[in-house]
Copies of this chain bind each other. A is one copy, B any other.
Amino acid sequence: MLEQTFKALADENRLRIINLLFHGEFCVCELEVFLGLSQSNLSRHLGKLKTSGIITAEKDGQWVHYMISEVFKSENVLLFEYLQKKMRKDQVFEKDIERMQNYKKSKLSCSVIRENKEQVLEIINQEESHAKGK
């Protein structure tokens, strides 16, 4: 069981998914643009996380929303605290959150993504104007 949990966590793409789900629920097409992964690849990673019990899925019409499993969370409190702490210190994970927040701020919606992927990518990848003024 412990082994299965760690196997599920032993992949950067899956860790990036979990990091995003710490900040909300998302459907596959949203995660796709946040992470730059192909639909098929992403779907498989979500499948593994679901099989291992770390995340759950809720169908909403043709969309599927993924979220952290409350059951798993309550049974693995220390692990989640550890993950959140470590992820906050890592550029890769922070960048993903930034993209996700740009997406939310811009009031973009799930259905726009496919039609205007180029434009959506440009919007979510824009630098924070004041942050990191290098």
Contact = CB atoms under 8 A, between A and B. Distances in A.
Mostly, the A contact residues are helix
Interface string A79-104: 10111011100100000000000000
Contact of A3 (B1, B10, B76, B79): B10
Interface in A2-35: 2-3, 6-7, 9-12, 15
A9 B12 contact: no
A81 B77 CA distance: 11
Chain A, interface size: which category?
A: 20 to 34
Highest count of chain B CB atoms <10 Å: which of A2, A78, A85:
A2
Contacts of A79: 78-79, 82
Contacts of A9: 6, 10
B15 A86 contact: no
Nearest to A84: B78
22 contacts: A1-B90, A2-B15, A2-B83, A2-B86, A2-B87, A2-B90, A3-B10, A3-B11, A3-B12, A3-B15, A6-B9, A6-B10, A6-B15, A7-B10, A9-B10, A76-B82, A78-B81, A78-B82, A78-B85, A79-B79, A79-B82, A82-B82
